[in-house]
Structure 1
């Protein structure tokens, strides 16, 4: 191999996902172009590229949608760090998730070596070069199955919203990830982890969403289509660690760097504050752009026209080529470039993008104003309003807690003026955002779910004693199977849904087998069961089992899974008389479908049981067992004759 080829393989690579699969910043920015949204008057993506360049990364692969590719390329050419990077672009219009991006990368074969993977919304400084070298050494001399190092940051604020929503258990000596659960409140840890004195249980970590990956990561996503997010990947590997022969590690940033990921308005506000307070040095305003810094974290751009009576309060940025009238007061606010702010205007705790005009006597508090918008005289915009680009607000308008567009692109908006439409989120069943009045704290709705609550009494009773996560998994499987059978959904899609639920609730493989069979046997409502006799019940159940054959084959394919299947049948039969009357027929049918093996049925029958119900069920199966043994003897006899 030539020296050039060796050097090319040793070059550090990074993959930056520049398309976000959410609308957290809408209508100020959409998911495809949110990486270009300004943070302290610089595109988010520029911070990410600067971070990679300063870390010693050479090659960068930027993924984006085809529609945003040109604007992203134009912006990257202006980024300081990109001038010393070899940037390659890859685009797709079919990717709908992080997992799809990794599968796309696998098909493109762009990855040559261990690489850094991150979104195009990360701000800060990290020692990526030594971390990549440590990961490479680990794989070469320690754990060849290591596929990823997840970089966490220890939070100095235990009350922060992003802290406490996940529990991570690490091997104290190696940093290997042994357990991961992203849930608030109480959790259940495997007993073997608790008894092991060499583990660290961490609830003080924030995921930076910067990871170091081996070349095995894209193929793992390609082989597992139910991996849609990084969390899916982590849970999938931890649950199936032995099967996939892959391990995960963690590195905790504590004093050797800073990262902030901007994924919604609260994080946008938090990272903006960190930039203004200089936690991100050297990525601070006056280093990368021409600002002068004044007392109180006030940053003044070039070519400004400031009236003598204009007051700039603490934590304020005013962009270059902007104008400010007399009597105007601005505090805790970022004003973009080429803005015109009139007389006696008050702007507090807000973000004003480039090219905005705010006319006399208007007040803006706790809001976001998109590019090239205009706020006319005597307007009041408060309490977490978000205005998209090109919006025009007419004089004497009072807006609170609204999302405003310049046109009725959604057909779900109320017209306020020729270039201002108030989006009605209540009419959108997909809307998940709630907006807090103070501090731009836009938060996701939290849904409270009763443990396996159901309008159907018998379904609730079936799951009454199941732990919460298992209960939720069981309920989702029931819903998927009912919809699948009624709407003739392809079983491959049902398997993807079930696996997604399994990873979401951290259900191990054997528990999943057990609950899938239980769900398959409890698809009838109580009213439907009361209307059925034994013959009709079995006929319907048989047709459902036949329909779900691919699902059965996916989960029941070993002796252990056969044992799980038989246990589930017996468990449901205890409380369902109709199933109890045909339980032997069900077992026989599953045998004929090549789901249950002869050996597993014989082993189940021979198992000693203490309960009278279990003994009775096995007595019912005596004839089936005799038939299986006779068939086995005939097979052995035929084999002897042939020999």
Structure 2
């Protein structure tokens, strides 16, 4: 029998040789994009004139995936027909695409349980949705996932997350996520889903999260595209826990809080690649503009992902197909895409809009922020702003469609009509029940109680209303926030929500600060003066905490725990902590005997500096703080070079960080005293360079 470690290596090699599998969930099991999604599958909605699922399949193809299971619950025939007639199911395609029909499923949990019942998953697999947009190759994330499994046999999932500030445009306005992680291992130890409204002012974690960990990170600066690398155990866990319906709120939260299962989940955080999900109408608009602005390069219109397209890239982010007819007097502003065989009439103006194939735009038409799909006709003297017009829509002469409207397939509107903001129009009446209810029930109940009907020289057009899922306690205001072009000024926020916010976080609150926090729950400081005030108060409290730890001679672990708790409760940053900690430590050095005092201070508290310093950029920031504080007083200037050398010898600051600081503009463009201190460090820099050259010669 071979040694144990050899058997483990053989098993890992066998696993890596197996075909890499992927699962695409084409249904989100919510009612976004209604009434359009009632007739068009979400995964086939065009984004920059390309069906959404094409982007997802492209990402899997470049990641060397071999087997792809496309799980369909609604619109099965339409999705099946599209894929069977696409290159993805041809014999020469590198992907082996299989359609899995799950018409009875009502949630993500049901779909994954169905996969387990059919025993389709045989190895690690990528779990994603049919509305994922990314230019990322997953090889490094997959390699990291497999490496973790070799050291942690309980590891079952790696969640790919994208760094994005709470105000980043690709983040959903209606909800957010709190990830609590061990920064040393990237293990996720707690997850909390946070809806924008009603405001959530605290999270609760088990004390076990803090056991055996010197530090944790609570992050709300991560965008979650729900792109996961899962082990073969994941479907079985869904089967064992039949009440798990949601991937994050139920599965991830359940795994992390279970004392019985003993499974672990990790994160893989990226900053450079583009990853986002078209999970609602707001993000549909945002991601479309990102593609036009080339954020997702090389995924841009002139790549011509769809056969027959011949887009040309022009100045101002204008993408025009070769077979487009533009009148001489029409004006095409920036950020515009125009599909094949489209005609735009005299004196029409188009800006920040995407127009599909075979469209006719009449004379004197204004399109601003409009998403016009294929085969749409817009008559003369119409104006359409920040709205979606689905396939084969006709807008008759003189009609105005205001912000945030969704017009479903084949609808005819006009003449001389004015469609109010946030209208949802369809030729079909809105069903009383969920879109996942039985079709016969919809037929019996659908035509009753239709309060708003648009009539004219066309078939009756029904107004649909926004609603939250029947089985969720979702605040309807979150549905509004995720809709297209929604203006937060139209949002109703109760007085008690504002006052509760003020009393719980101990800060003044007004309409502006409350609305500002909607885009990032737990970003409690607001913006502008409120943010500056919060930062000042947090630094005062951190200074008191550090001074108390020094005076009472606490252990480094105790001091770090107090700092972490205060940082979490005040939504502070490690940057602010370092801005306070470094000057305090330098001020503790006795100038009468600087060398022994310096060694005493940093021998005791150097580990605390390390605990609040996590990257090379953080180390550079430490050096900037030392330079700035030592330059503030002539007596402290004598400590600068000694402190620099000591931190280097103690491995608190690395050589690369010192070089980066020395070459940075910040170190060279400060006050005269700061520049003088940098000059003092030149000999030390030369010594580092000479030592590196000697090491290179020895090799």
The correspondence for 1:347, drawn from 364, 367, 372, is: 367
TM-score, scaled relative to structure 2 = 0.59
Is 1:145–2:154 an aligned residue pair?
Answer: yes
TM-fit CA distance, 1:6: 6.2
Distance in 1, Cα, partners of 2:88 & 2:316:
27
Residue in structure 1 matched with residue 184 of structure 2 by the alignment: 173
Residue in structure 1 matched with residue 238 of structure 2 by the alignment: 221
Distance in 2, Cα, partners of 1:135 & 1:357:
50
Is 1:93–2:99 an aligned residue pair?
Answer: no
Given that residues 95 and 101 in structure 1 are in contact (C-alpha distance below 8 angstroms), is that contact kept between their aligned partners in structure 2?
A: yes
Distance 1:68 1:172, change over 3 A: same
SS where residue 203 of structure 2 aligns? coil
Q: Which sections of structure 2, spanning at least 5 residues, go unmatched?
A: 1-12, 195-199, 431-445, 498-699
Distance 1:32 1:104, change over 3 A: farther
Distance in 2, Cα, partners of 1:137 & 1:167:
26
Question: For residues 296-331 of structure 1, what are the alpha-carbon distances to aligned partners after superposition, in whole Å with 9 as ceiling and x for unaligned?
Answer: 111101211100011111111111110010100000
The correspondence for 1:422, drawn from 462, 465, 469, is: 462
TM-fit CA distance, 1:273: 1.2
Residue in structure 2 matched with residue 378 of structure 1 by the alignment: 398
Is 334-343 or 149-158 further displaced after alignment?
149-158
Is 1:404–2:425 an aligned residue pair?
Answer: yes
Given that residues 426 and 464 in structure 2 are in contact (C-alpha distance below 8 angstroms), is that contact kept between their aligned partners in structure 1?
A: no
Question: For residues 224-254 of structure 1, what are the alpha-carbon distances to aligned partners after superposition, in whole Å with 9 as ceiling and x for unaligned?
Answer: 01110112101111111x3112110001011
Distance in 2, Cα, partners of 1:100 & 1:377:
47
Given that residues 383 and 438 in structure 1 are in contact (C-alpha distance below 8 angstroms), is that contact kept between their aligned partners in structure 2?
A: no
TM-fit CA distance, 1:100: 0.4
Distance 1:389 1:296, change over 3 A: same
Superposed counterparts of 1:58-207, under 5 Å? 58-65=66-73, 67-75=75-83, 77-78=85-86, 83-139=93-149, 141-156=150-165, 158=167, 161-162=171-172, 165-183=176-194, 184-191=200-207, 193=209, 196-207=213-224
Residue in structure 2 matched with residue 266 of structure 1 by the alignment: 282
Q: Which sections of structure 1, spanning at least 5 residues, go unmatched?
A: 452-643
Question: For residues 158-201 of structure 1, what are the alpha-carbon distances to aligned partners after superposition, in whole Å with 9 as ceiling and x for unaligned?
Answer: 46553883221111221111111122433244455458433222
TM-fit CA distance, 1:57: 1.0
Question: For residues 470-522 of structure 1, what are the alpha-carbon distances to aligned partners after superposition, in whole Å with 9 as ceiling and x for unaligned?
Answer: xxxxxxxxxxxxxxxxxxxxxxxxxxxxxxxxxxxxxxxxxxxxxxxxxxxxx
Given that residues 126 and 259 in structure 1 are in contact (C-alpha distance below 8 angstroms), is that contact kept between their aligned partners in structure 2?
A: yes
Is 1:20–2:28 an aligned residue pair?
Answer: yes
Work out the number of aligned pairs and report it.
Answer: 444
Residue in structure 2 matched with residue 245 of structure 1 by the alignment: 262
Superposed counterparts of 1:489-638, under 5 Å? none
Residue in structure 2 matched with residue 29 of structure 1 by the alignment: 37
Residue in structure 2 matched with residue 333 of structure 1 by the alignment: 353
SS where residue 176 of structure 2 aligns? coil
The correspondence for 1:441, drawn from 479, 483, 486, is: 486
Residue in structure 1 matched with residue 552 of structure 2 by the alignment: none
TM-score, scaled relative to structure 1 = 0.64
Distance in 1, Cα, partners of 2:76 & 2:419:
31
Is 1:387–2:400 an aligned residue pair?
Answer: no
TM-fit CA distance, 1:356: 0.3
Question: For residues 543-582 of structure 1, what are the alpha-carbon distances to aligned partners after superposition, in whole Å with 9 as ceiling and x for unaligned?
Answer: xxxxxxxxxxxxxxxxxxxxxxxxxxxxxxxxxxxxxxxx
Given that residues 156 and 263 in structure 2 are in contact (C-alpha distance below 8 angstroms), is that contact kept between their aligned partners in structure 1?
A: yes
SS where residue 347 of structure 2 aligns? coil
TM-fit CA distance, 1:135: 1.3
Of the two structures, which has the highest relative contact order with CA contacts closer than 8 Å and spacing of 6 or more?
A: 2
Distance in 1, Cα, partners of 2:142 & 2:85:
27
